[in-house]
């Protein structure tokens, strides 16, 4: 997955594919509606944070909309491992107070945003077979990619598998220790502020249910979904749903508190997205109806509203500043 997505010059995020948007392979919330970034700016406004760090900023639209909706001047930084996307971000954010980082800062203060980033961090596939846990590996044979399975004898992946993957013959799913490590590093380096992860996924008890026995790994190519990552390697997105329990535990172990876990619909409604829509002056009725349709995609339970979750964790004064999220918090589900 790392090679298919990030190998220099060849990986999906490292080469020239259009990726996001109508002419690419998939659309994300910031691509659908500018109200998404504006709603995030509104939710975090009570923190009065000077700094925002966005991970994996895609086309830069979330940054654009967040900055446009922020009442004060922010120092906005972007860290994206895709050099190709960085160029697109620089074009859309030209003239704004944005800087691009090459590595995570040692100390982080303020707001950290990551929309659909954790699902793109390379995960492992593990299955239970013949009383053992096995890890999927990819090899080449006769010029083609093939799966091979390696029994897990020891190590943190085996420990996680024993805890999460049900011992049902053939049960296969994903574990993303690298995404957990990323969340842990961010939480460790956070001195005062909030980390906000928006993604599709579930808490552990909903993720590793017996019915979901083939896992969640999926590939996106030209707005179609399929489940064979060994085809079109480097030309398509490969992603897995996020285990939000694991992400919350990683943050808490690193000293942060869970401020809120909610569905995207609950979160955006709490952010007064509908009021912002009502207060917006559109150039025509057609524009207004189009914007409403886009908002509907973000909120509808049959589109992004329920499958996408928002996990906000924090440290220091951010915890009190974001107390308004308490009434939508569903962290008991984690
Ligand atoms: C699915 S795209 C989402 C883009 C954007 N956030 C959006 O919502 O439109 C995933 C993004 O995460 C970036 N990415 C993946 N792993 C990362 C990491 N460890 N640090 C920073 N960016 C990362 C990719 O380069 C890509 O820009």
The b/e string for 55-85 (b: 16+ C-beta within 10 A; e otherwise) is bbbbbbbbbbbbbebbeeebebbbbbbbebb
CA–CA separation, 37 and 167 (whole Å)? 41
Q: Report the separation in Å between the CA atom of 96 and the middle of ligand 1, taken as the mean of its atom positions.
A: 20
Q: Report the percent of the chain where pLDDT is more than 90.
A: 91
Strands (E), 103-226: 108-115, 124-129, 132-141, 144-151, 172-175, 190-202, 218-221, 224-226
Query: Is the pLDDT confidence value at 26 over 90?
Result: no
Same domain for 285 and 183: yes
- The answer to whether residue 169 sits within a structural domain is no
Same domain for 134 and 82: no
**Joined tokens for residue 189:** 């380096």
pLDDT digit string (tens) for 248-304? 999 999 999 999 999 999 999 999 999 999 999 999 999 999 999 999 999 999 999
At residue 22, the pLDDT reads 80
Same domain for 297 and 158: no
Same domain for 182 and 143: no
- The answer to whether residue 210 sits within a structural domain is yes
Q: Which domain holds residue 60?
A: 2-121+176-333
Same domain for 17 and 117: yes
Query: Is the pLDDT confidence value at 39 over 80?
Result: yes
Ligand 1 mutation pick, 56, 62, 179, max ligand atoms within 8 A of CB = 56
- The answer to whether residue 222 sits within a structural domain is yes
- The answer to whether residue 106 sits within a structural domain is yes
Q: Which residues have any ligand 1 atom within 6 Å of their CB?
A: 13, 20, 28, 30-31, 55-58, 62, 79-82, 85, 115-117, 120-121, 182
Is residue 148 within 8 Å of residue 140, measured between CB atoms?
A: no
Of 19, 84, 13, 80, nearest in space to 53 by CA: 80
Look over the chain and give the mean of its residue pLDDT values, rounded to a whole number. Answer: 96
Is residue 124 within 8 Å of residue 136, measured between CB atoms?
A: yes
């Amino acid at each position: 997955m790392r090679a298919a997505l990030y190998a220099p010059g060849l990986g999906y995020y490292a080469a020239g594919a259009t990726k996001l948007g109508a002419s690419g392979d998939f659309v994300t919330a910031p691509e659908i509606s500018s109200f998404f970034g504006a709603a995030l700016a509104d939710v975090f406004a009570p923190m009065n944070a000077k700094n925002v760090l966005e991970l994996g900023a895609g086309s830069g639209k979330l940054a654009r909309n967040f900055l446009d909706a922020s009442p004060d001047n922010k120092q906005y930084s972007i860290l994206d491992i895709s050099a190709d996307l960085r160029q697109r971000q620089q074009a859309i954010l030209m003239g704004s107070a944005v800087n691009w980082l090459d590595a995570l800062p040692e100390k982080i203060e303020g707001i950290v945003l990551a929309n659909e980033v954790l699902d793109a961090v390379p995960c492992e596939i593990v299955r239970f077979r013949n009383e053992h846990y096995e890890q999927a590996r990819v090899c080449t044979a006769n010029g083609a990619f093939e799966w091979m399975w390696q029994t897990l004898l020891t190590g943190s992946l085996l420990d996680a598998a024993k805890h999460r993957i049900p011992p049902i013959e053939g049960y296969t799913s994903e574990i993303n220790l690298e995404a957990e490590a990323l969340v842990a590093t961010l939480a460790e380096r956070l001195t005062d502020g909030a980390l906000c992860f928006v993604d599709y996924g579930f808490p552990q008890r909903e993720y590793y249910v017996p019915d979901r026995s083939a896992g969640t790994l999926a590939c996106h190519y030209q707005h179609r979904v399929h489940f064979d990552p060994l085809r079109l390697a480097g030309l398509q997105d490969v992603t897995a749903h996020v285990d939000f329990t694991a992400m919350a535990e990683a943050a808490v172990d690193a000293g942060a508190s869970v401020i809120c876990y909610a569905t995207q619909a609950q979160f955006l409604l709490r952010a007064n997205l509908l009021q912002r829509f009502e207060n917006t002056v559109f150039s025509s009725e057609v524009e207004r109806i189009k914007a409403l349709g886009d908002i509907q995609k973000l909120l509808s339970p049959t589109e992004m509203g329920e499958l996408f979750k928002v996990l906000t964790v924090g440290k220091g004064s951010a915890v009190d500043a974001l107390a308004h999220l308490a009434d939508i918090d569903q962290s008991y589900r984690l």
